[in-house]
């Protein structure tokens, strides 16, 4: 009874408060509870809010969700879960337990159990929260997180906590779990890493913000060392820490996942600096897209341009992979050579005519689509020629030292020729001089302006892809049979979700629609590309778009076309203005997923 009353009291406080003070009200509400029941009440709040989130379309209205959770616990019947105004009236008319009612039984309870519980009370009173409100990411955020833009840069001390201290802690935790060291030594190493992390975090962030991080560390140890299965709770704890950072306007983000490897669970964390925040609206849903740049030094890397998960509230876009894709793959193909690699080297060496036609058309499409999308009228070719020359030098060096040294072109905009270091023994003086001239050209204001615009346009397209994943996840929360919605044309659920995101991206990309199709189709033509969700999504997209845009002469394609025939389909889809392809992608999305493509507007950032 006491825990139930405490849960109602917390939900009532959160339901009454204005969203601008929700973060502080949440802390005060929990702090007001007796330590004996605080953790149990917090867990019930988590479950109640999670249930409310899954049944309302107004999931981005934090006060509405807390009011719905409160009314459900009070067993109020016939609720209009999506009517914010009516639900508020029902909430106001439903009494909440008075604070005194919660503590009325406490003196009697303490009289019976005072001595054995005294130590427990002190311990629990000092502990950070063990679990978090699953709506924590909807707390009112400061600065850029509210309206878009660049968040407040973190201090060097704050960076160090996530870049170094947390990494050392995770390495020590993994070593203890893997029996890589004698138990006593591994335990001492973990304890030392946590003490240093705790000290530095308290100094850099303060105890309140740090308590969210410490709760995450507790759950990480439970999962890794004790086999605790509460992975969703662990994800929400990381999300709550990220939300706490956002509520302070800090440009830091921590992502977490749990991998099953070698018969045991490993907690994987990635630390990022937030370079930019974009805000999107789709109906009543508000979604933030974060442009992230990795700052930790751990070895795991994501081989994608962006990602999100059901329990992650933001669309996450990765700056470094996008930069690498542009400077190492896309731009070098848009210079004088005019050939974008769509197939694997073995197929290209075969010299079949359809390959040259395909790769030439892909390069023209990318140059035209990317150039037309720039705010200024500048041509991308001069910038592309610089990257084309840079890649040619590295390709020449790689051929010269093949079998002895592995050489890869840089995957960042700026490459300091003075930092070639180990390459000095395998490069010619003329090559180093040419690299220096290229880098000087990249520093020219005109080049940097084109790069900044191109990078921004490319990032926005990836954002739209990841935001569609978020919209799909929100739709899933209202439809428990949603998984089967994505199993279209024999696709797995994951491949169907990628198909949804790519078609929606094309439909909303405008002038960029042909380039989005080109980058997706690459998965079909390159035999070395991984077989899986992306390849299957690309195949179904090409076949479906061919149905939406049939050949003028009415010629039908084979039921199971090979790569050459798929290349002809791809070339035919490019024949026409970008809007024609974007509209076809919209029609195909709505036909496959049996609903209208939701509206999407970028409202900030």
Q: Which of 415, 449, 421 is nearest to 434 (CA)?
A: 415
In this predicted structure, what is the pLDDT of residue 140? Answer: 42
| Res 110: pLDDT | 43
Worst-scoring range by mean pLDDT, 12-16, 327-331, 480-484, 571-575? 480-484
- Given a cut of 70, is residue 88 above it in pLDDT? yes
Predicted pLDDT at 523: 93
For residue 370, what pLDDT is reported?
A: 85
Q: Is the pLDDT of residue 118 over 80?
A: no
Residue 417 has pLDDT above 60, yes or no: no
DSSP assignment letter at 104: T
Helix/strand/coil (H, E, C) string of 569-601?
HHHHHCCCCHHHHHHHHHHHHHHHHCCCCCCCE
CA angle (56, 61, 65) in 5-degree steps: 50
Closest of 407, 403, 437, 402 to residue 420, by C-alpha: 407
For the chain, what's the residue count? Answer: 605
Give dist(CA 167, CA 173) in Å, integer: 10
Burial class (CB in 10 A: 0-12, 13-18, 19+), 317: buried
CB 409, CB 390: distance < 8 Å:
yes
Question: Considering the chain, what percentage of its residues have pLDDT values greater than 90?
Answer: 49
Query: What is the predicted pLDDT for the residue at 325?
Result: 93
Strands 264-282 and 285-294, by their bridges, are antiparallel
- The answer to which of 37-41, 176-180, 404-408, 509-513 has the lowest mean pLDDT is 37-41
Summarised one tens digit per residue, pLDDT across range 49-61 is: 766 765 777 766 7
pLDDT in tens, 182-205: 888 889 999 999 999 999 999 999
Cα 325 off chain centre by? 17
- DSSP secondary structure letters along 471-497: HHHHHHHT-TTGGGGG-GGG--HHHHH
Res 528: pLDDT: 86
The pLDDT of residue 480: 53
Q: Mean pLDDT, to the nearest integer, of 280-289?
A: 94
Q: What is the percent of the chain where pLDDT is above 70?
A: 86
Closest C-alpha to 566, from 583, 546, 588: 546
> Reduced to 3 states, what is the DSSP secondary structure of residue 304?
coil
Q: Is the pLDDT of residue 259 over 90?
A: no
Predicted local confidence at residue 23, as pLDDT? 66
Mean pLDDT score, 428-438: 90
Answer whether 0.85 is exceeded by the pTM.
no
pLDDT tens track for 440-467: 999 999 999 999 999 999 999 999 999 9
256 has pLDDT over 60: yes
Average pLDDT (388-393) is: 93
CA–CA separation, 280 vs 168, rounded Å? Answer: 36
């Amino acid at each position: 009874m006491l825990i139930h009353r405490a849960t109602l009291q917390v939900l009532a406080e959160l339901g009454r408060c204005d969203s601008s003070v929700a973060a502080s009200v949440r802390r005060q509400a929990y702090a007001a509870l007796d330590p004996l029941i605080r953790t149990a009440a917090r867990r019930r709040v988590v479950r109640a809010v999670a249930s409310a989130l899954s049944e309302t379309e107004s999931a981005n209205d934090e006060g509405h969700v807390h009011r719905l959770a409160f009314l459900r616990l009070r067993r109020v019947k016939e609720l209009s879960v999506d009517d914010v105004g009516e639900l508020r009236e029902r909430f106001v008319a439903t009494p909440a337990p008075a604070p005194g009612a919660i503590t009325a039984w406490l003196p009697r309870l303490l009289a019976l159990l005072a001595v054995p519980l005294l130590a427990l009370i002190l311990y629990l009173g000092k502990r950070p929260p063990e679990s978090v409100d699953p709506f924590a990411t909807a707390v009112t955020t400061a600065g850029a997180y509210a309206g878009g833009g660049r968040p407040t840069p973190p201090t060097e001390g704050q960076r160090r906590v996530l870049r170094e201290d947390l990494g050392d802690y995770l390495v020590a935790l993994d070593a203890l779990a893997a029996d890589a060291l004698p138990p006593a030594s591994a335990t001492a190493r973990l304890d030392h890493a946590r003490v240093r992390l705790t000290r530095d975090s308290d100094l850099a962030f303060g105890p309140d913000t740090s308590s969210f991080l410490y709760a995450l560390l507790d759950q990480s140890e439970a999962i890794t060392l004790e086999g605790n299965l509460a992975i969703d709770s662990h994800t929400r704890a990381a999300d709550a820490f990220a939300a706490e950072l956002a509520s302070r306007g800090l440009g830091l983000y921590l992502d977490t996942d749990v991998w099953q490897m070698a018969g045991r669970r490993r907690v994987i964390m990635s630390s990022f600096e937030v370079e930019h925040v974009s805000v999107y609206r789709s109906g009543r849903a508000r979604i933030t897209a974060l442009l992230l740049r990795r700052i930790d030094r751990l070895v795991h890397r994501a081989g994608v341009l962006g990602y999100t998960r059901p329990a992650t509230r933001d669309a996450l876009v990765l700056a470094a992979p996008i930069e690498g894709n542009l400077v190492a793959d896309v731009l070098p193909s848009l210079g004088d050579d005019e050939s974008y690699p769509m197939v694997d080297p073995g197929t290209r060496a075969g010299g079949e005519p359809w390959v040259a036609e395909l790769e030439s058309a892909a390069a023209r499409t990318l140059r035209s689509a990317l150039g037309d999308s720039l705010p200024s009228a500048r041509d991308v070719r001069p910038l592309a020629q610089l990257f084309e020359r840079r890649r040619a030098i590295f390709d020449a060096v790689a051929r010269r030292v093949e079998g002895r040294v592995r050489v890869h072109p840089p995957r960042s905009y700026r490459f300091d020729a003075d930092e070639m270091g180990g390459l000095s023994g395998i490069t010619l003086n003329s090559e180093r001089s040419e690299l220096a001239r290229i880098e000087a050209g990249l520093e020219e204001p005109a080049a940097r302006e084109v790069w900044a615009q191109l990078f921004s346009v490319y990032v926005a397209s990836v954002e739209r892809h990841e935001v569609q994943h978020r919209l799909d996840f929100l739709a899933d929360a209202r439809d428990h049979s949603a998984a089967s919605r994505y199993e279209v044309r024999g696709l797995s659920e994951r491949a169907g979700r990628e198909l949804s995101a790519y078609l929606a991206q094309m439909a909303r990309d405008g002038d960029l629609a042909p380039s989005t199709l080109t980058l997706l189709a690459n998965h079909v033509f390159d035999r070395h590309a991984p077989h899986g969700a992306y390849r299957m999504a690309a195949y179904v997209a090409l076949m479906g778009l061919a149905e939406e845009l049939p050949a003028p002469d009415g010629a039908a394609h084979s039921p199971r076309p090979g790569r050459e025939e798929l290349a002809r389909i791809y070339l035919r889809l490019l024949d026409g203005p970008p809007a024609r392809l974007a509209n076809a992608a919209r029609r195909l999305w709505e036909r496959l997923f049996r609903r209208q493509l939701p509206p999407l507007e970028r409202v900030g950032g």
